[in-house]
Chain A
Amino acid sequence: MTDLGECNKMFVISAYLWQFHEPMTELNEALIRKVAELSRLKLDEGEIPGYVTSIGEILNHVDQLRRVDTQGVEPMFYGIDDSLRLREDEVRSFAPGKDAQPRILESAPSVEDGGFKVPQIVG
């Protein structure tokens, strides 16, 4: 088993060099907190420094993209080139032959009168 640093030498070197560049984004605890709030993720205070480090390292690596000249390049947002295939306007049961409604409620954690139950502060 080769040493990890060896094995990905090329990338490690580029990561090494890039630690001296001015990062595109200054990652700090405040930004992690903001992103966690936007993502609705609860982080323990103790977890935050770890995320600052690991996400910071990844973003630092990702900063290498700035070196690529992408002027005038059409972004590739999709996996296929085909245009959108449409469907006919047709009502169909997802569970033919079965009463569909109970199926959709069966997987829900809390149901009342056919509705998905949530605390009032949310609804």
Chain B
Amino acid sequence: MKQTLPSIQEIHDSFDAGTSDPLSLTEGFFTRIKASKHNAYITLCEDRALQQARNLSIELKTAFQGKVPRQTHPLFGIPLGIKDVLTMDGVRTTCASRILENYVPPFTATAVARLEVAGAVSLGKLNLDEFAMGSSNENSAFGPVLHPTHPDRVPGGSSGGSGTAVAADLCVAALGTDTGGSIRLPASFCGVVGLKPTYGRISRYGQIAFASSLDQIGPMTRTVRDAALLTGIMAGVDENDSTTLARAPEDWVAVVDRANGDSSSLHGLRVGIPAEYFIDGIDPGVRQAIERAIEFLKQEGALVVPVSLPHTEYAVSTYYVIAVSEASSNLSRYDGVRFGVRPEGAMRAATPSEFYKEARALFGAEVKRRIMLGTFALSSGYFDAYYRKAAQVRRLMRQDFENAFQKADVLVSPVSPTTAFRLGEKSKNPLQMYLTDIFTIPASLAGLPAMSIPVGEDADGLSIGMHLIGPRFGESTLLRVASRIEGGLS
């Protein structure tokens, strides 16, 4: 574990001590971002961020007399990176697509707005796979993001910019979004903490939709406590999103702080090992690291129990039918009429169909493939066999989890069977790429909270993440376990 970068708490301590302030911290990030070759950011909001940071620095000295107002502004002066799938009023938001290359939204995503109210400084918009469709961040119209430590490798996707930026010190923390693993996979590949909360915890208002019933915003951070902090600020009912949960967020920072100070906090915790997640194809390095982590949990007093998730083998099929169907619908709005780019050809179109085809010609190949797949799965004559069938299997997968959580409090597995793969290695074969997400997809389908927590490196020095899956609303358990692992496993 390379836990060398300061946490939010430590940054606030340095503000208190007067050894740093929001402005100098923010300036430092822009210096590093500009020198970096990772291609982590698509758009920088430098003027906006520096103005914000300058004001905060002044306030710190004047209104707050040098003491960070942690209660009222828990993210006071903390520079964040925002995945470019989230809207910010007046800041270009591209979703890594040429079709939105010039889109400047007139409103801000609820999650981002809440972080900024808490004092966060948004540095810019982070690179991703176009419309969050991908597992390697190679599907970006703005070029691939490079792995933070191994430039010939992918950072994972779709929140690849977020993973690399956090790991490479290009922001203190980042927002990612997760539809089938898009936070957890890059967190694992890049060696940072990634949390996908229970579906509905965090408002999707301002999150450009990929698959609405699966999409969820979450933090990617240096520490478990930072993840708890960001989640707590973003979570809760939003009147602009009908799918936010009525259930109130918990004080997850307190959960983490308690776990850190209590070596008995995992005593009697039932850790479930899903048989279907420990298949032959897992990299030996990954397997070893996960087994070592499980051993650590045992030492902490946890009880390891075998569980079964029998429908796991259908996860990828189920996921792809549902995700692409919803995506084909969500992406119908890109027609160059009200926003976005309208290519030259559209105005010369001779038929309505031609107009739309010209206007929608800017989608990348993977996006087009998924739209067509989804259109097909929803079309008359196929709906029952594909979409409805997949939605039924999804229910069965969720029941698998409910059964498993009768026996266990948390489930663990690798995030991915492999560590970060090479650029170009899987990009020629979509199905192989889809299979990268086999362990992360089921929790997405079931709407469960899940995390990636670094547990070591393979022989090549590539990070390995352990995957924690909790029951619905079980963020506290995940954070408790992750926090012990973070503190005890090195």
Contacts and interface: CB of A to CB of B under 8 A. Distances in A.
Instruction: Give yes or no for direct A-B contact (beta carbon below 8 Å).
Output: yes
B450 to A, nearest CB: 14
B279 interface: yes
Nearest to B430: A54
A30 interface: no
Given A75-B388, A75-B392, A68 B311 contact: yes
Interface string B370-381: 011101100100
B386 interface: yes
Interface residues of B, number: 95
Interface in A55-81: 55, 57-59, 61-62, 64-66, 68, 70, 73-80
B392 A85 contact: no
Interface string B189-200: 000000000011
Contact of B283 (A1, A43, A103, A121): A1
A107 B361 CA distance: 19
Interface string A84-123: 1101000000110000000110111110000010110110
A38 B375 contact: yes
Given A62-B320, A122-B349, A76 B199 contact: no
A107 B246 contact: no
B64 interface: no
B55 interface: no
A107 B92 CA distance: 10
B342 interface: yes
Nearest to B382: A25
Interface stretch (B36-44, B119-127, B331-339, B476-484): B331-339
Interface in A1-16: 1-2, 4, 6-11, 14-15
A25 B389 CA distance: 15
Given A41-B360, A42-B358, A54-B369, A10 B316 contact: no
A36 B371 CA distance: 9
Contacts of A106: 104, 106
A7 B313 contact: no
B355 A118 contact: yes
B311 A2 contact: no
B339 A10 contact: no
Interface-centre pick from A4, A51, A121 (highest chain B CB count, 10 A): A4
Given A73-B392, A75-B394, A109-B336, A61 B431 contact: yes
18 contacts: A6-B280, A7-B281, A9-B280, A11-B435, A25-B382, A51-B368, A57-B430, A58-B320, A58-B373, A65-B317, A66-B389, A68-B311, A75-B392, A76-B394, A76-B398, A77-B213, A79-B214, A109-B340
Given A65-B318, A109-B342, 10 more contacts: A2-B418, A4-B425, A10-B313, A11-B435, A51-B369, A64-B314, A65-B393, A68-B392, A76-B392, A76-B395
Interface of B: 103-107, 199-200, 212-214, 216, 237, 239, 242-246, 279-284, 311, 313-314, 316-318, 320-321, 328, 335-342, 346-353, 355-358, 360-361, 363, 365, 368-369, 371-373, 375-376, 379, 382, 385-386, 388-396, 398, 417-419, 421-422, 425-426, 429-432, 434-435, 438, 445, 447, 460
